[in-house]
Structure 1
Amino acid sequence: MRPAQESIDISRDLVSLLPRLRRFALTLTRDGLQADDLVQAVCERATGRQPVWNGHGRLEDALYILARTLQDEANGRKRVAADPRVGSASAGGATSGDALQQMMIAMPEGLASAFLLVAVEQRNYRDAGHILGLAPDVVAHKLATARLRLAAMASDTTERRA
């Protein structure tokens, strides 16, 4: 029996990770309401009786892996193409954050998650690959593709404004 690992209380740390966890869940689900449901499911599992984190490594990695696993289970491991119309639209005028969020949601599955982990959260390819269940070279390829898509989307937006 390992009492030190069983006595770990992640509730306190979980609260500080909620914004990042929701942002990651949004890249997986591409829908605000589904992302909220996924975050709730992750929190329930993380604070439940069976620990998802044993005190080794980063808590957020364990939560991200759990989120990806739960989303894969919800999809029946079936990958679907992104629908750019999916997501929560703002009732008022779109801010630059809303526009960026919509661009991320519009990317095909896997690209947004790789971009978020490497470019935004500054993870290396190995760590991002561990979270996503991919080889580091696949993460690098997804990141490059995501950057190209975002650049193309940004140039389309800029051309429309001109």
Structure 2
Amino acid sequence: MSEKPETKIVGFDRGDARSRMGRDIVALLPRLRRFAAGLTGSIQEGDDVVQSACLRALERHHQWEPGTRLDSWMFRIIRNLWLDRGKSAWNRLVRSDPDALAEIPDHSLSRELEVRDELASARAAIAALPEPQREVLLLVTVEGLTYEAAADVLGIPLGTVMSRLARARVAVGRRVRGDSTEALARETGAATTRR
């Protein structure tokens, strides 16, 4: 009885690529969750979007081109899923995360309340931005993407990224400082018409 020896083809196969992608996505999860939570305004909703994005990426792993940035591809999937859900920036609520506040080293009550107010103010300011500005702000300042990478993720020109980011920073700064709501409305209103 002669048995034919099992031959293995050494090389790149789809199962290996998908497994490798899965491991790489796991390493990106904190960044993906942070981006999605900022985009959606909710940790829970952000986690739902990330879960859907991971599933979609693994199902379509063959569409990703090795050698390109997996994080940019994943951010684009998250953004597209969020847009597909038809959510509007104007009707989302900002929810604070009490677990994040527990990590603050200064446990004095007055400092905790001050930090809670600052955090809520910053989140509200970001949530009040028009969606195109919020996306750019999150990708560049929170996720640390270059302007070029953010432009690639969003499919917009580099100059548009720079313009939206500048307007977003001004609007958030004004809102956090408590500038008049009329000035804020003019800034964000003008920004939405100049996309």
Q: TM-score range by the shorter chain?
A: 0.7 to 0.9
The secondary structure found in structure 2 opposite 1:47 is: helix
Structure 1 partner of 2:44: 33
Does residue 1:4 correspond to 2:12, yes or no?
A: yes
**Structure 2: which 5+ runs fail to align?**
1-10, 102-112, 180-195
What is the TM-score normalised by the length of structure 2?
Answer: 0.66
**From 86, 89, 95, the counterpart of 2:93:** 86
Give 1:136 shift.
1.3
Give yes or no for contact 2:129–2:168 (8 Å, CA) kept in 1: yes
2:36–2:50 contact (8 Å) kept in structure 1: yes
Between the two proteins, what is the percent identity of the paired residues? Answer: 30
SS of 2:72 mapped into structure 1? helix
Q: Which runs of 5+ in 1 are unaligned?
A: 158-162
Structure 2: distance between partners of 1:29 and 1:144:
21
- Distance apart, 1:120 and its partner CA: 3.4
Structure showing the higher helix proportion among its residues: 2
Equivalent position amino acid for 1:105 in 2: A
User: In the alignment, is residue 136 of structure 1 matched against residue 143 of structure 2?
Assistant: no
Q: Is 2:167 the partner of 1:145? A: yes
Q: 2:144 corresponds to which residue?
A: 122
Runs of 4+ aligned structure 1 residues displaced above 6 Å come to: none
Q: How many residue pairs were aligned?
A: 150
Report the TM-score when normalising by structure 1: 0.77
- For 1:69 and 1:119, locate their aligned partners in 2 and report how far apart those are by CA, in whole Å: 20
Contact 2:22 2:58 in 1 (8 A): yes
Q: Deviations over 1:57-96 (max 9, x none)?
A: 1110110111112122221xxx73434x602234685275
1:109 pairs with one of 131, 150, 153: 131
- Structure whose alpha-carbon radius of gyration is higher: 2
**CA distance, structure 2, for counterparts of residue 19 and residue 99 of structure 1:** 23
Comparing both chains, which one has the higher relative contact order based on Cα–Cα distances under 8 Å and sequence gaps of 6 or more?
1
> Contact between 1:125 and 1:140, CA under 8 Å: does it hold in 2?
yes
Q: Report what 1:53 is aligned to.
A: 64
Write the deviation string for residues 36-74 of structure 1: whole angstroms up to 9, x where unpaired: 1101101111223x2152322111011011111212222
Q: Aligned Cα RMSD in Å?
A: 2.6
The answer (yes or no) to whether the contact 1:128–1:139 under 8 Å persists in 2 is yes
